Structure 1
Amino acid sequence: MNNSTQIQLVVEEDIATLSFVPPSSKPPTLDLEVLQQLELRVEEIGRQQPRVVLLRSTSDRFFCVGANLTALKDIDEHTIAPWVLAGHNVFNQLEDLPMPVIAVVNGYAMGGGLELAMACDLIFASEEAKFAQSEASLGFIPGWGGTYRLAKRIGNSKAKFYFYGGHLLDARQAAEIGLVDLVAAPSELESDVHSYCQRVLTTNPNAIAQFKKILNDQDRTSRDENANIEASHSVSCLQDPDTKQRLHDFLAKKGRK
């Protein structure tokens, strides 16, 4: 039995769906194996060139909650930088796809899971979705572009406010501050996603690709430099005795469950 999240890719009628499939009763999580799977699926999408990409979870309760426990146990000040840079590499490839990429969020998008959603062009959420950039509770900073993409979506001051306090936002609150682009009742989300995709399919794919490239290229230098900055500061976090103690306590608590 595989205890790691798997990623499925289905392409139908010019719409690609990337689905995170967690182990039974567990939330989708990220480790190096999952990041490698995601990279392979993104490369396949690049070859097939669908018109729209949907990124979602098969779990009703969770979109993705970030790093899994095994990954956290193996992280120290010597391994954190390669881990950060690996995530940046894959998330940037996802962001650089030439077609619209939409995160469809039911349930919780936490930590690295929120960073994954923000690497998409748009975030469509169920009213039951929850969002948090929650790393500070463990003594970490966001390591997969969260310091960059959160600020780009909601502005520097709001990014500071919500990260400092570790706020858990519901979908309506997230939409009000610009983190989420569309909110729908759980029974209506799929219909709204489908309707939006159908509208995209009526447009010119080259025009969309060129528009996306112009917008994304405006700040590529900052985004790419941010990877090394987050890696360096993540090492500093793990050299902090308080972070080490927080991580130890978190893992010990999870191990008792």
Structure 2
Amino acid sequence: MSAQVLREDRDGLCTLTLNRPEKMNALTVQMFLELHEHVAALEQQTDTIGAVLLRGAGRCFSAGNDLRDLAAGQPLPRPHLQAHTIDRLARLPQPVIVAVHGYCYTGALELALAGDLIATAQSARFADTHAKWALTPLWGMSQRLPRRVGDARAKEMMLLGRTYSGAQAAAIGLANFCFADDEFDAEVEALARELLAGSWFSHRANKRLLLETDGLPLEAGLAHEVFRNAGKGPDMQERIAAFGKK
């Protein structure tokens, strides 16, 4: 049986690809098991992997949860496997870019929301359809979506189940970047390389600061930044010297 999540490492970038193109990358228990294994490995590879790119094979990122899996009530090998995997992905030390083309519905949107940066193609389609199927979120939608787009817009998406284009997703802050379809792959690659050009130390430290201070009052957050920051990176002197030579 072929892998449902592929991994490719190149020049510090790890690309994880959802690999059920014939099923529009519908999310299965097996897919989450494989994704969890990759995430667990990446947590220990900060010296060699500076950023992670998550995307889908074929025509779309993912059409969402596999409804046949859902209807069959397939038992999970551990409680809340999907929610735990998504949370672990969101908390990776390395920054995570999610590249969305085609469909990104419901469970797939919950997965995409684990990204630090979301890049979308113009023709992409985003939606939360939990209400269509008489379901409620279990993988983080109610928490991550309002933190990204605000409470009012999150209610709109969750209650009405409307579909949003890539351009609309960028306009409401759901996506950070919207690229033309014919330029999407090249633009995503350029974005990843731009990210990797920064200090990997700083990226990890900044991401950790944001995670650790999320929800804190301003005074407590400022104190955390001052007294619990990671300090200077091992590449600081090299970067300053290189700048001085320009």
Q: Please, what TM-score do these two structures have when normalized by structure 2?
A: 0.81
Q: Of residues 18, 21, 28 in structure 2, which corresponds to 1:20?
A: 18
Whole-Å Cα distance in 2 between the matches of residues 9 and 202 of structure 1? 21
Kept in 2, the 8 Å contact 1:154–1:178? The answer is yes
Q: Of residues 180, 186, 194 in structure 2, which corresponds to 1:191?
A: 186
Q: Of residues 26, 39, 43 in structure 2, which corresponds to 1:42?
A: 39
Counterpart residue type for residue 58 of structure 1:
A
Counterpart residue type for residue 18 of structure 1:
L
Q: Which structure exhibits the higher relative contact order, with contacts defined as CA atoms closer than 8 Å and separated by 6 or more residues?
A: 1
Gapped runs of 5+ residues in structure 1? 222-257
Whole-Å Cα distance in 2 between the matches of residues 209 and 161 of structure 1? 33
Q: Which residue of 2 aligns with 1:232?
A: none
Q: Which residue of 1 aligns with 2:56?
A: 57
Q: Of residues 149, 155, 159 in structure 1, which corresponds to 2:154?
A: 159
The alpha carbon displacement at 1:219 in A equals 3.1
Whole-Å Cα distance in 1 between the matches of residues 38 and 25 of structure 2? 16
Kept in 2, the 8 Å contact 1:124–1:180? The answer is yes
Whole-Å Cα distance in 1 between the matches of residues 94 and 197 of structure 2? 13
Q: Which residue of 2 aligns with 1:240?
A: none
Kept in 2, the 8 Å contact 1:133–1:142? The answer is no
Q: Please, what TM-score do these two structures have when normalized by structure 1?
A: 0.77
Alignment of 1:143-158 (within 5 A): 143-158=138-153
Q: Which residue of 2 aligns with 1:224?
A: none
Whole-Å Cα distance in 1 between the matches of residues 159 and 67 of structure 2? 23
The alpha carbon displacement at 1:182 in A equals 0.4
Whole-Å Cα distance in 2 between the matches of residues 150 and 169 of structure 1? 14
Once the two structures are superposed, residues 47-67 of structure 1 have per-residue CA deviations (whole angstroms, 9 ceiling, x without a partner) of 33311111001122x211222
Kept in 1, the 8 Å contact 2:4–2:30? The answer is no
Q: Which residue of 2 aligns with 1:74?
A: 72
The alpha carbon displacement at 1:162 in A equals 1.6
Alignment of 1:1-257 (within 5 A): 6-22=4-20, 25-49=22-46, 50-60=49-59, 62-75=60-73, 85-219=80-214
Kept in 2, the 8 Å contact 1:117–1:123? The answer is yes
Whole-Å Cα distance in 1 between the matches of residues 212 and 63 of structure 2? 29
The alpha carbon displacement at 1:207 in A equals 1.0
Question: SS at the partner of 1:73?
Answer: helix
Which structure shows the higher helix fraction? 1
The alpha carbon displacement at 1:205 in A equals 1.1
Gapped runs of 5+ residues in structure 2? 217-246
Counterpart residue type for residue 43 of structure 1:
A
Question: SS at the partner of 2:209?
Answer: helix
Whole-Å Cα distance in 2 between the matches of residues 32 and 196 of structure 1? 30
State the percentage of identical aligned residues: 30
